[in-house]
Amino acid sequence: MNPSTNDQIKGKFHEVKGKVKEAAGRAVGNPDLETEGHAENLGGKVQTKVGQIEKVLEK
């Protein structure tokens, strides 16, 4: 598997995991968990974009 594809997969995983943490934080009224989820979601988006850029540069 290409490193770019690997980055995209990991990024999507972190996005989903972050969204789940955000929702859980809202549901239980835990702002720390919600913030942690938001940060992980953004980190996942960045990692996904890095993978997409790497894929373009590989061509």
In order, the DSSP letters of 31-53 are: HHHHHHHHHHHHHHHHHHHHHHH
Domain boundaries along the sequence of the chain = 3-58
Residue-level pLDDT at 39: 97
The pTM of this model reads 0.86
Distance CA 51, CA 27 (A): 32
The one-digit pLDDT tens for each residue of the chain (59 residues) are 788 899 999 999 999 999 999 999 999 999 999 999 999 999 999 999 999 999 999 87
